[in-house]
Amino acid sequence: MSPGFEAALGNPLLAGRDFTWTDIWQFRPVAILSENVAKEYWGSAAGAIGKQVREGNAGLWREVVGVVGNVRDDGVEKPASTSVYWPIMVKQFWGQEFQLRRTVRYVVRSSRTGSAGFMGEIRQAVWSVNPEVPIAGARTMEDFYTKSMARTSFALVMLGVAGAMALLLGLIGIYGVISYAVSQRTREIGIRMALGAQQQSLTRMFIGHGLRLAAVGVACGLGAAFGLARAMKALVFGISTADPGTYAAVAVVLAGAAALAAYLPSRRATSVDPVEALRAE
């Protein structure tokens, strides 16, 4: 690679320096490593600076002048590959006296990447030097990312839709069951009110009952979710499947549905005259 390649990609320089054109024109024996290579052999990025590597058993030893971040060039679902970067022109490389990459890819970093006008300006810049040079395979990093994530994104969208439907059905089921259970206790409500029970205390009693039932269900559901989340590890990268915020949010939503399902029927039942409530039975 040439100087500035990693910076254009947005890959950070963790230790040392980048290649220079002096390195290239003078064929200096230098190399840059990815972070995982540096850590594997020397424990840290800084520890690799000044060490030597070579491309094969008979290769020329080259000094490590820099360490850059890891790149998942095989796809985000796979671990970052271990990489060694050589200058674009090198001597005595894999048994060849000189090696020069004549098929070149340029990396351009800009906020206008992907626009037709920007591509036109790049073509004009190239053709102003040599109008015979064609420009082929122009793609953005977003294109590479989208393609690598296509299958995973589709699977996650489908799982998201299924999860949303399951949550909706769960809310409807909780509301329906608890609401029906409370409405079936209309006679009990009438008796309690006839004996002097206050409307607020009855409402709190039924809400507490609904929340206790919901707590049991949420506890069972969380246990099952933690177990099944292991099967999702292949679809998420760089994060844990045991996200406390998500589990807490779902638990709060379900508990809220249970409280609402207990509150509304009990509120209606306690607002009726005790005699009418008993007569309804």
Model confidence pLDDT, tens digit, residues 72-100: 887 777 788 899 999 998 888 887 887 77
| Over residues 6-34, mean pLDDT | 93
pLDDT band at 270 (very low <50, low <70, confident <90, very high): low
pLDDT at 187 > cutoff 80: no
Which domain covers residue 114, as residue numbers?
110-138
* Tokens linked to 191: 């008796």
Contact 1, 85 (CB under 8 A): yes
Those residues whose C-beta lies under 8 Å from the C-beta of residue 109, and which sit 6 or more positions away, are: 7, 8, 9, 10
3-state secondary structure of 52: strand
Instruction: Identify the band that residue 235 occupies on the pLDDT scale cut at 50, 70 and 90.
Output: low
Alpha carbon distance 252, 18 (integer Å): 51
Tell me the average pLDDT of the chain: 83
Clarify whether residues 262 and 146 are in a common domain.
yes
Please provide the distance, in angstroms rounded to a whole number, between the alpha carbons at the two ends of the chain: 85
- pLDDT higher than threshold 80 for residue 109: yes
pLDDT for position 238: 62
What Cα–Cα distance (Å) separates residue 257 from each residue in 170, 223, 266, 274?
9, 20, 14, 27
Token reading at 146: 């989208």
Question: What is residue 234's predicted lDDT score, i.e. its pLDDT?
Answer: 63
Place of tokens 């009693």: 205
Q: Are residue 116 and residue 239 in the same domain, yes or no?
A: no
Residues 159, 175, single domain; the answer is yes
65 with 97, same domain: the answer is yes
Same domain for 152 and 60: no
Looking at the structure, tell me whether residues 156 and 271 fall in a common domain.
yes
Q: What is the pLDDT of residue 237?
A: 64
Do 147 and 273 fall within a single domain?
yes
Whether residues 99 and 147 fall in one domain: no
Residue ending a domain, choose from 121, 138, 155: 138
Which of 17-21, 37-41, 170-174 bottoms out in mean pLDDT, i.e. has the lowest? 170-174
DSSP state of 10: T
Mean pLDDT value across residues 55-66? 90
Helix (H, G, I), strand (E, B) or coil at 31: strand
| Total number of domains in the chain | 3
Pairing of strands 30-34, 62-68: parallel
State phi, psi for 272 to the nearest 5 degrees: -90, 150
Q: Rounded distance, CA 205 to CA 266, Å? A: 9
pLDDT above 60 (res 280): no
Do 199 and 122 have their domain in common?
no
Shared-domain flag, residues 219 and 243: yes
Please, are residues 263 and 176 in contact by the beta-carbon 8 Å criterion? no
**More confident position, 175 or 44:** 44
126 in the same domain as 80:
no
My answer on whether 57 and 132 are in the same domain is: no
Write out the two tokens for 66: 């820099």
The per-residue pLDDT for 178 is 75
Query: Could you give the percent of the chain with pLDDT greater than 90?
Result: 25
Highest mean pLDDT among 95-99, 227-231, 275-279: 95-99
Q: What is the C-alpha separation between 167 and 216, in angstroms, rounded?
A: 17
Residue 66 or 219, more confident: 66
CA pair distance 112, 128, nearest whole angstrom: 21
Query: Picking from 140-154, 165-179, 230-244, which range would have the lowest pLDDT averaged per residue?
Result: 230-244
The whole-number pLDDT of residue 61 equals 93
Q: How far apart are CA 252 and CA 162, in angstroms?
A: 20
59, 91, 107 - which closes a domain = 107
